[in-house]
Amino acid sequence: MSSRSMRSTVTFPIVLRELTVLRVADVNAGTRRITVGGPQFGAFHRDGLDLPALRSEGFDDHVKLFFAAPGADRPVLPRQQVASLDWSVEARPIAKDYTPHRVTATEMDLDFVRHGSGPAATWAESARPGDPVWVAGPKMSLSHPAGADVVIAAGDETALPAIRRWLREMPAGTRAYVFIEISAEDRKQDLPTAADAEISWLISGRESLAEAVSTMPWPDGTVFVWVAGEAGAIKPLRRYLRVERGLPPEQMEITGYWKLTAPVAAADEDEDEAHERLHELTDLTPGLAIRAAVTLGLIELVNLGADTAELLARETDADLGTLRLLLGYLAGLDVLTVDADGRYGLGELGDELLEDADWYHLDGAEAALDLSLLGLVETVRRGRPAAGLRATFESDSGLGGAARATIEESAMWMVPTLIDRYDWSGVRAVAATGHGAGVTLNALAKAHPQIELSIAAAPSALGVLRDQILDAEVAERTELVPTSGAVPVRPGAVHLLVRALEWLTDEDAEHLLTEFAAGLPGGAEVVLVEECRSLDDTDPEEIEWDLKMRCAFGSGRRTEERVGALLAAAGLRVVDTVDIGWSHRLWRLARG
């Protein structure tokens, strides 16, 4: 979230639905279209939960279809929670993502490329009207790119459903250049559109997406590029667009929908698996080496053509001898490749790093949280944070801003349920604060445009909120209130605190809430949202997050009971509380 995307995001509760095959038709020799629908396409009730109707508002949305294993009558399914799914660790479902290219209030069309075998292909070949099918999602939608003068879309047959839907839904008159790579002439389809679109069909083996896009006359104006297909085939486009065209990240999306893979040799049956697993879990070197490569910029430089140790040392101002050691180690991990002349390229893991490099940067907020675990022994012994990350994040606007953006991004998944589970219809004004308040206001402004909005944060965080998190139209109508840490009181407003306590120890959280409660006028209503943990939670990833938060801030996700104790100690009375999914809970509060 380093810059505002040209595509706005809306998230939805993830719902598992049992639908029915309504129609099956072959579009051409290589494509089968299956239409699904049924009562659970709309809102329905199951297992004590009221679940919303399916929503899909973006051309490249995807839903997950679940398939039975060979010989099984029914697929393995995740369990439905309030707004998400619980995936069993004992038996993993067989599932695959598909883009619905037509969605109405009662049904959607899914296209399947007819090839090969496997559970998905087998199901598509045998599907008949009346057959059941389990579907989850979409969990989010991205809009048409705002502010783009020209759109360039390129994809292979796996991307054709997204391109088909985009062309159908493009605003009339949109200038668009579309390139679609197909395996044979008879795979072409009619693509209706109101856009001013120039559509080019490419036959595999004769023309490629990379060649077509890189040789086209470049249009004037602000260009947005969307590319999807086989990861290796579209890889050259990333370098062309970044280097030769100078396109910033927010003006392009390049996604590997699938990847050609080589056969993997069978593992040595005599290998001591427990010993190898223990070694992998305790070896710090691979992670630190990969993170160092990302931080130095080696992955991006190699992708852009810097292929010798000397050139890389010059570009990164690194010691050549030490850099050679690091490059050799990375080549052994398949992060890099190296030929007989000592020239480097990206290996399979290096290609993956291009997509998610920000997550592995040693100078970033995520790395600071990870490195706080170096003080785990001290935190376990004393119960106090070993790393003073709260003070660091509050004093370092860059690091704190990155941390704020990361939390806002994770918080947006629970926002739809938060908006749904509180009655905002009679609310005149909302005064918000906390690390998830920005994405909440984005959704609240769209659902209830009559509400006056304000958001309080440290001055450095307000810049991040204005420039990166709040949608442009929401930022214009939201009052930004600087604060040194206290929660400002606004008469006549509902006070919305979203993940405002997670960087605070219990002592500091109680002090913050006590000061806030003391300033509340009679009759004021407060909505508090916090991410909570259950004492029964055994998910290693969830426990890992709590350990990081303990080491970094002395907090972590509190239990529902612990949050209740802090509220009572601060003089706040609980009017109501409800689970809103994604481990988040909502409290309605009043002054005690």
Q: pLDDT at position 522, please?
A: 86
Give bridge partners of residue 433 from the DSSP assignment: 456, 497
SS3 (DSSP) at 308: coil
The amino acid sitting at 550 is R
pLDDT computed for residue 360 by the predictor: 86
Kindly report the average pLDDT of the chain as a whole number: 91
pLDDT > 70: percent of the chain? 97
- Assign 272 a pLDDT band (cuts: 50, 70, 90): low
Burial of 116 (0-12, 13-18, 19+ CB in 10 A): exposed
Residue 445 has pLDDT above 90, yes or no: yes
| Cα–Cα distances in angstroms (integers) from residue 77 to residues 39, 57, 140, 538, 539, in the given order | 19, 25, 21, 19, 18
pLDDT for 265 equals 42
Alpha-carbon distance 39 to 101, whole Å? Answer: 20
Q: How far apart are CA 294 and CA 312, in angstroms?
A: 13
pLDDT score at 270 = 42
Q: Are 61 and 141 in contact (CB under 8 A)?
A: yes
| pLDDT for the residue numbered 3 | 56
pLDDT at 262: 53
Which pLDDT tens digit goes with each residue over 208-266? Answer: 999 999 999 999 999 999 999 998 889 889 889 988 899 998 999 999 888 776 544 44
**Whole-number pLDDT of residue 275:** 65
- Global confidence as pTM: 0.82
What is the pLDDT at residue 132? 96
Least confident range of 27-36, 68-77, 278-287: 278-287
Higher pLDDT, residue 88 or 43? 43
Residue 261's pLDDT is 66
What CA–CA distance (Å, rounded) separates 406 from 479? 22
- Residue 3: closest CA among 472, 453, 457, 473: 472
Q: If you write DSSP's letter for every residue of 172-210 in order, what string do you get?
A: TT-EEEEEEEESSGGG------SSEEEEEEEETTT--HH
Phi, then psi, of 282 in degrees rounded to 5 = -105, -10
Distances (CA, A) of 492 to 426, 433, 446: 12, 16, 21
When pLDDT is cut at 50, 70 and 90, the band that residue 108 belongs to is very high
Q: What is the pLDDT of residues 427-440, one digit of tens each?
A: 999 999 999 999 99
The mean pLDDT value for 270-275 works out to 58
CA distance 440 to 507: 27
Question: How far is residue 168 from each of residues 57, 165, 190, 257, measured CA to CA in Å?
Answer: 13, 5, 11, 21
- pLDDT exceeds 90 at position 537: no
* Cα–Cα dist 232/256, whole Å: 8
Instruction: Scan for tokens 């407060």, then name that residue.
Output: 526
Could you read off the pLDDT of 340-375 as tens digits, one per residue?
999 999 998 898 888 777 778 888 888 888 999 999
Q: What is the pLDDT of residue 232?
A: 85
pLDDT of residue 462: 92
Tens digit of each residue's pLDDT (9 = 90 or more) over 368-404: 889 999 999 999 998 888 877 888 888 887 888 888 8
CA 38 from chain centre, in angstroms, equals 29
pLDDT for the residue 2 = 39
